[in-house]
Amino acid sequence: MTSRQFLIRDLLVLLAFTGWTLALPFYASEFVVSMALTCLMYVALSSSWGLFCGSTRYLSLATSAFFGIGAYTTAILLGQFSWVETIAIGAGMAVVVAVVMGAAVLHLRGTYFAVLTFGMTELIMHAVTYFEKTVTGTVGRVLTVVPERDTIYLTVLALAVLAVAVSIVVRRTRFGLALMGIGADEQRAQTLGVNTRLVKIAGFALTAGFAGAVGAAMAVRWTYIDPHTVFNPFIGFQTVLITLIGGVLTLWGPLLAAIIFSVLAESLRLQFPQIYLMSLGLLLILCVLYLPGGLASLRGETFKGWWNDSRDWTKDLRRELSGEKEREKQRLKRREKESHFV
Amino acid sequence: MSLTAWLELITSGLITGGIYALVALGLNLQYGLMRILNIAHGEFLMVGAYLTWLVQTQFGLSPLLMVPVAFVLLMVLGVAVHFLCFRRLTATSPNLDVFEARGLMVAFGLMFLVQNFVSWQWGGDLRGYDYLTEPVKFGEAQFAANKLLVFGLALLFSGALIALLRMTLLGKGVRALMQSAIGAQLMGIDTKRLHPLMFGIGLGLSGIAGALLSMAYTITPYMGQPYTVTALIVITLGGFGSMGGALIGGLFLGVIEALGMHFTNPSLKALLSYVVFIAVLLLRPEGLFTRKSRKA
Amino acid sequence: MSEQVLPLLEAHDVTVRFGGLVAVDGVSANFVPGELVGIIGPNGAGKTTFFNAISGVQVPTAGRLIAHGHNLTGRGPHRFAAHGVARTFQTPRVFPDMPVAANIEFGLKFAGKRRRKYLFWGDEVGVPWALRDAASILSLIGLSAQAELPAAAITPSQQRLLEIGMALATRPKLLLLDEVAAGLTESEIEEMARLIRRLRDELDLTVIWIEHAVTTLLRHVERVIVLHQGRKIADDTPHNVVRNPEVIEAYLGDEMAEPSAEEEEVAA
């Protein structure tokens, strides 16, 4: 398929997805719609996370920070500003924080970066907690102005579709190529003319904006928010997990994984919440070890490869157990000794 | 504040600091040697605590006995975990950056797995038992006996590890590997055997820490994470790979925390510790207590 | 209309220090358009570090770097690329998962783009015809057949050619080649040298070439800079450099003690 054909295919799938999720509230039960809402939230979060962190391989754990910032924006400003304005401001605040954070931190790689973003998330949470306690004298906030369920649903749907659409578009632009170059070999990309600092900050700000917008929208689902709920690092962890399992470099992987996990989460949540989390953990380990490209990279060859690998492994094991390995070693040793006498 | 009060405060800080040091040493061993940032480290501490609690409540065995047992059990677990999860990564990762990132993610997965397994089996409530709760007096100051024991043993094991690394041939091999992996291998040091062993020892240390903690504090399936975070902060302050730094850093952090808790409110303390953490990572990534000698 | 011949790149007293080790020690050199310069020196002389400094990859501890009159000291590699400095790395650093053609296009889309000037009907001005797009660059370096293969799948010597192609895609004025002939046979080195000369002639470039295959290099370049322990000990024609006693001493008489007959003939 040519690049144009891929584009058309992607857009068609996106359109179908949009149409289907749009129609959902009209015929599905309350439970299903609620599940779809969580699913759409994670679609938005993972797609935007994968956009930056997937291609550049800078693993950001700061999603919760931006989510929380958006949530607090809503808690404070909704009522004075309209719904759309509040979401936009939430996204904007997250972007500002991301630019500051990024400028300070994006020159570090790998584990340093991941640990730092985590630290900054916790920092922001504690800062907000402290500020609330001492300056405003509150522990959490109650949301008084709450829009209709359908409005929330539509907003999150729009954000999810936008996140996927932006991913589709960015991949085809110079910006997307720059991101991939940074992930492949950052210094090389620099010598070829990429202003990596700017590109990284822009990418980071993009993910932050989405996370902030999603946070701002979802805040109204909880009528009472406090720092521990909205800055919960688990939101960030789950985003990362879903994107990694789905396939961090792919377009549809995160979406697929988000759907699977939302279904799993909702069905297991009431009786076996821990089993859901355990399976997440186990799946992540298995994916990193055996399927680094994620679920979306599963192909016929992958299964063949696994089959061959396991066959080789059992063959090797059998040889070792039957003592043949030992015998071969002895044979080689004898041959070596003989060659010394030549 | 009276002298006794100061003494009690600083000692309680040292006690928690001793635990921090123990956990940090294990984490440091794993990262400094193998570049595996095991963020599930705290979960294994929690496992050690639960094992000790289980044994104590089911069979009445003294937790003191469990300390070496916990070490052995968790060491074996560590070797198994390394074999199952991390060995394959060494073979399949194209470079160090990718290996570190993948190791981090595997550790992530382990964190979810272990934490929720325990929560599933034993529930999320607080558990605990009483052991040596009578207070001990030094002059006017009063300390709980169990906490003193915890401190003493934590220092003992930390010291033992450092001694092991400094004085035995094995330890020297480990330190050589930390400084130059290829050079050490050329000298004949076998990483295939050494890595799982050291990973196991690292986990064993956190198992000890957990066993010790269970003597004096209540346990929950979620107790591990704060210790992982604190251990991270400690090894950042002390310098990645520096054992002495981890020990000093742990004690130091414990005291700072105790002082902070007492004089300010907990949120500010948490805030300040993260500010310090980030500042150190950004400005002096080789740690506060190491000499600025290494250059890439 | 005549242009003032500004040096393409001026290095003033460039020093690079790593802790206690001085890798480059006060090296100064100017490079003018159209030159073919070789840099030689025993191992550890600081040649690659010097390259790193003049391409922006390494910020010098002291000294200044001026490209076309612009002070680029301390700026990042992308600024150097924007001013026409392109380089290859000793071990080829290609983008392994992208196809060969995409590797070339990368440079075209970034630094290569910035240096284009359009006439209003969409033609590019000031860019050599041979560098107009990925396909022409590929045919220039001889990798047209491998265009769709992932870069990881081609042979190491092909990867080295790809490295050069990627550098050319940035439409440079100054091309830094770091040991592009390492590990090649005698005839292959000769071929590489001829390619480099062609590139310089056809593409209006200045080429600076680090090489260990000293004899071949000396046959093809017009000017040689010799580095030893971080310092520049000679900067002259090949003919004079082989007779320079300090240079001879630095190499301990390995390759250059007696100027061979052919060196005499070529350098004359």
The pLDDT value recorded for residue B275 is: 84
Helix (H, G, I), strand (E, B) or coil at B111: helix
- Residue B137 parent element (H or E): strand B135-138
**Chain B residues inside the 8 Å CB shell of A57:** 97-98, 101
Query: Would you tell me which residues 226-265 of chain B have a C-beta closer than 8 angstroms to some C-beta of chain A?
Result: 229, 232, 236, 265
Give C1-60 pLDDT, tens digit per residue: 445 567 888 999 999 998 888 889 889 999 988 899 999 988 777 899 999 999 999 999
The pLDDT value recorded for residue A162 is: 94
B291 at C interface, C-beta within 8 A: no
CATH of the domain at A63: 1.10.3470
- B117/A278 touch (CB, cutoff 8 Å), yes or no: yes
The pLDDT value recorded for residue A41 is: 93
C126 at B interface, C-beta within 8 A: no
C19 at B interface, C-beta within 8 A: yes
ipTM: 0.83
Closest Cα in chain B, distance from residue A275 (Å)? 7
* In a shared domain, residues A146 and A18: yes
**Chain B residues inside the 8 Å CB shell of A273:** 116
Across the strands, what pairs with C29?
C11
- C86/A187 touch (CB, cutoff 8 Å), yes or no: no
pLDDT at B166 over 70: yes
Query: Using CA atoms, how far apart are residues A102 and A106, in angstroms rounded to an integer?
Result: 5
* In a shared domain, residues A334 and A195: no
The pLDDT value recorded for residue C157 is: 86
Query: Using CA atoms, how far apart are residues B65 and A332, in angstroms rounded to an integer?
Result: 50
**Chain C residues inside the 8 Å CB shell of B293:** 19
* In a shared domain, residues A316 and A269: no
B22 at A interface, C-beta within 8 A: no
Mutation site, A289, A290, A309, A313, interface B, largest B CB count within 10 A:
A289
The pLDDT value recorded for residue B269 is: 75
* Cβ-based contacts under 8 A for chains A and B: 114
- B116/A120 touch (CB, cutoff 8 Å), yes or no: no
Question: Nearest CB to A285: which of B85, B120, B229?
Answer: B85
* Closest-approach residue (CA) in chain C for B94: C96
Question: Nearest CB to B120: which of A104, A274, A289?
Answer: A274
**Chain C residues inside the 8 Å CB shell of B93:** none
Look over chain A and give the mean of its residue pLDDT values, rounded to a whole number. Answer: 86
- A274/B278 touch (CB, cutoff 8 Å), yes or no: no
**Chain C residues inside the 8 Å CB shell of A180:** 95, 98
- A127/B108 touch (CB, cutoff 8 Å), yes or no: no
pLDDT at B45 over 90: yes
Mutation site, A192, A197, A199, interface C, largest C CB count within 10 A:
A192
Q: How confident is the model at residue A295 (pLDDT cuts 50, 70, 90)?
A: confident
* Closest-approach residue (CA) in chain C for A188: C93
Tell me the two tokens of residue B4: 């006794």
pLDDT at B257 over 60: yes
Q: Which pTM does this prediction carry?
A: 0.84
Mutation site, C87, C91, C109, interface A, largest A CB count within 10 A:
C109
**Chain A residues inside the 8 Å CB shell of C55:** 191
Number of Cβ within 10 Å of residue A300's Cβ equals 7
Q: How confident is the model at residue A164 (pLDDT cuts 50, 70, 90)?
A: very high
pLDDT at B268 over 70: yes
Which domains occur in chain C, in start order? 1-84+172-268 (3.40.50.300), 94-171 (no CATH)
**Chain C residues inside the 8 Å CB shell of A185:** 93, 95
* In a shared domain, residues A160 and A294: yes
- Residue that wins the pLDDT comparison between B286 and A228: A228
C238, C224 in Cβ contact below 8 A?
A: yes
pLDDT at A342 over 80: no
Closest Cα in chain B, distance from residue A126 (Å)? 5
Residues in chain C whose Cβ is within 8 Å of chain A: 55-57, 76-78, 80-82, 86-87, 89, 93-98, 106-107, 109-114, 166, 169-170
Q: How confident is the model at residue B288 (pLDDT cuts 50, 70, 90)?
A: low
The C-alpha torsion from B157 through B184 and B238 to B292, rounded to 10°, is: 150
Give C196-248 pLDDT, tens digit per residue: 999 998 888 899 999 887 888 888 899 999 998 888 988 989 888 888 888 88
3-state secondary structure labels for all residues of chain C: CCCCCCCCEEEEEEEEEECCEEEEEEEEEEECCCCEEEEECCCCCCHHHHHHHHCCCCCCCEEEEEECCEECCCCCHHHHHHCCEEECCCCCCCCCCCEHHHHHHHHHHCHHHHCCEECCCCCEECCCHHHCCHHHHHHHHCCHHHCCCEHHHCCHHHHHHHHHHHHHCCCCCEEEEECCCCCCCHHHHHHHHHHHHHHHHHHCCEEEEECCCHHHHHHHCCEEEEEECCEEEEEECHHHHCCCHHHHHHCCCCCCCCCCHHHHHHHC
* In a shared domain, residues A288 and A316: no
pLDDT at C257 over 50: no
The pLDDT value recorded for residue C116 is: 58
* In a shared domain, residues A140 and A286: yes
Q: Which residues neighbour B80 within 8 Å (Cβ) at sequence distance 6 or greater? A: none
The pLDDT value recorded for residue B292 is: 47
pLDDT at B29 over 90: no
* In a shared domain, residues A125 and A22: yes
B197 at A interface, C-beta within 8 A: no
The pLDDT value recorded for residue C260 is: 52
Q: Region C100-127: what's the mean pLDDT?
A: 73
pLDDT at A156 over 90: yes
Of A128, A144, A145, nearest to A136 (Cα)?
A128
CA distances to B32, B185, B285 from B295, rounded to whole Å, are: 16, 21, 12
* In a shared domain, residues A242 and A313: no
B163 at A interface, C-beta within 8 A: no
Q: How confident is the model at residue B86 (pLDDT cuts 50, 70, 90)?
A: confident
3-state secondary structure labels for all residues of chain A: CCHHHHHHHHHHHHHHHHHHHHHHHHHCCHHHHHHHHHHHHHHHHHHHHHHHHHHHCCCCCCHHHHHHHHHHHHHHHECCECHHHHHHHHHHHHHHHHHHHHHHHCCCCHHHHHHHHHHHHHHHHHHHHHHHHHHHCCCCEECCCCCCHHHHHHHHHHHHHHHHHHHHHHHCCHHHHHHHHHHHHHHHHHHCCCCHHHHHHHHHHHHHHHHHHHHHHHHHHCCEECHHHHCCHHHHHHHHHHHHHHCCCCCCHHHHHHHHHHHHHHHHHCCCHHHHHHHHHHHHHHHHHHCCCCHHHCCHHHHHHHHHHHHHHHHHHHHHHCCHHHHHHHHHHHHHHHHHHC
pLDDT at A337 over 90: no
Q: How confident is the model at residue B129 (pLDDT cuts 50, 70, 90)?
A: confident
pLDDT at B293 over 80: no
The pLDDT value recorded for residue B77 is: 92
* In a shared domain, residues A192 and A229: yes
Helix (H, G, I), strand (E, B) or coil at B185: helix
- A285/B282 touch (CB, cutoff 8 Å), yes or no: no
Poorest-confidence range of A132-146, B173-187, C189-203?
A: B173-187
Closest Cα in chain A, distance from residue C108 (Å)? 8
Helix (H, G, I), strand (E, B) or coil at B294: coil
Instruction: Name the neighbours of B, counting chains with at least 3 Cβ pairs within 8 A.
Output: A, C
Angle at C161 between CA C156 and CA C163, to 5 degrees: 90
* In a shared domain, residues A317 and A188: no
Question: Nearest CB to A130: which of B119, B229, B267?
Answer: B267
Question: Nearest CB to A193: which of C93, C96, C114?
Answer: C114
* In a shared domain, residues A86 and A50: yes
* Closest-approach residue (CA) in chain A for C78: A193
Instruction: Name the neighbours of C, counting chains with at least 3 Cβ pairs within 8 A.
Output: A, B
Query: Would you tell me which residues 149-208 of chain B have a C-beta closer than 8 angstroms to some C-beta of chain C?
Result: none
Residues in chain A whose Cβ is within 8 Å of chain C: 174, 177-178, 180-181, 184-185, 187-197
pLDDT at B61 over 70: yes
**Chain B residues inside the 8 Å CB shell of A127:** 271
Query: Residue C248's Cα: distance from chain center in Å?
Result: 24
Please return the burial class of B263, using the count of CB atoms within 10 Å of its CB with bins 0-12, 13-18 and 19+: exposed
Q: Of the segments A67-76, B2-11, B137-146, which one has the largest average pLDDT value?
A: A67-76
C18 at B interface, C-beta within 8 A: yes
* Closest-approach residue (CA) in chain A for C82: A193
* Closest-approach residue (CA) in chain A for B280: A116
Give B92-102 pLDDT, tens digit per residue: 777 777 788 88
Query: Residue C50's Cα: distance from chain center in Å?
Result: 11
Q: How confident is the model at residue B225 (pLDDT cuts 50, 70, 90)?
A: confident
Question: Nearest CB to A181: which of C57, C82, C106?
Answer: C106
Give A202-236 pLDDT, tens digit per residue: 999 999 999 999 999 999 988 888 898 899 888 88
Mutation site, A120, A228, A284, A286, interface B, largest B CB count within 10 A:
A284
Q: Region A275-286: what's the mean pLDDT?
A: 85
Percentage of residues in chain B with pLDDT exceeding 70?
91
Name the residue range of residue A52's domain.
Answer: 3-298
The number of distinct structural domains making up chain A is 2
* In a shared domain, residues A190 and A314: no
The pLDDT value recorded for residue A188 is: 92
Closest Cα in chain A, distance from residue B87 (Å)? 10
